[in-house]
Structure 1
């Protein structure tokens, strides 16, 4: 199985959350479900465009490789190594979100502040761990190149959405 599909899905979900984070706190209205959904869609769109960079990087690595089958296997091994730390990170995020939605208001809010606040700050470290996982799992330099490109793309979604749509507070 190729890890490209789960990695792409993780990247797109992260992009939607990045769009939400770019919008969060910028609007004092009480009913803002439509604006929140629009922000998530903006993040998803920006993420889809930015995630073309690692896709094109992987395609370029494969097309220029002397042994494409071996390079594909190397990239697949690196992708699995990249996926493992991100899966652990995504699980922690999902547990924090589940606590927020399922627990009573005060406990859920505490879970959100204690969980998602630090986890948001740890995103770059999770991506660095994923790059290291890609390298150590046998992906070598090609997987590290693709992983670094993917990490940079994912980390650029929130600033891109913020600059494009939410630069000024309403």
Structure 2
């Protein structure tokens, strides 16, 4: 099994959430569904471009490898190591979101505050854990791609915020 597809999907979903987070709190309107969707799409667009760096890195490693089959196996093992912490994190986020959408208003808000707040702060540590998993699973080449992808997803929110939501002075 190649972990590339789930990793790309997780990266793109994370990019959309990063676009939303860049926008959240910058608009006091109550009904802002259109602006929220636009912010998520902006995050998705920026994340797609930034994640191309890790895809190009992987392609370059595979094209320049002496033994492509062995390099592919190494990258696959590293990708699985990278995927494990991200999957656990994604499940925790999904549980928090499910609680927010299914519980009554006050309980759902509490679930959001005690769930998604700390999880957002833990994102960089989860990326570090994923890079460690890539290094343990696949070694240096997998760590290079994982670190490139991790840097890309961590740069989406600041890039979107700086481009579209910086307060005017």
Classify the TM-score, shorter chain. Answer: over 0.9
RMSD: 1.1
Aligned to 1:30: 30
In structure 2, the residue matched to 1:94 is 94
Counterpart CA distance in 1 for 2:68 and 2:20 is: 39
State the match for 2:68 in structure 1: 68
1:1-170 aligned at under 5 Å gives the runs 1-137=1-137, 139-168=138-167
**1:17 to partner: Cα distance:** 0.1
Shift of 1:86: 0.2
- What CA distance in whole angstroms lies between the structure 2 residues aligned with 1:144 and 1:70? 16
Distance 2:61 2:139 in 1: 12
Deviations 1:78-122 (A, max 9, x none): 000100100000000000000000001111101100000000000
Cα distance, 1:64 vs structure 2: 1.4
CA displacement at 1:163 relative to structure 2: 0.6
Q: Which ranges of structure 1 fall in alignment gaps of 5 or more residues?
A: none
Distance 1:141 1:106 in 2: 47
Name the stretch that deviates more: 58-67 or 153-162. Answer: 58-67
Counterpart-to-counterpart distance in 2, 1:166 and 1:4: 32
Give the C-alpha shift of residue 135 in structure 1: 1.3
* Count of residues paired in the alignment: 169
Q: What TM-score, normalized to structure 2? A: 0.98
- CA shift digits 1:23-45 (9 cap, x unpaired): 00000111100000000000000
Listed as ranges, the gaps of 5+ residues in structure 2 are: none
SS in 2 for 1:25: coil
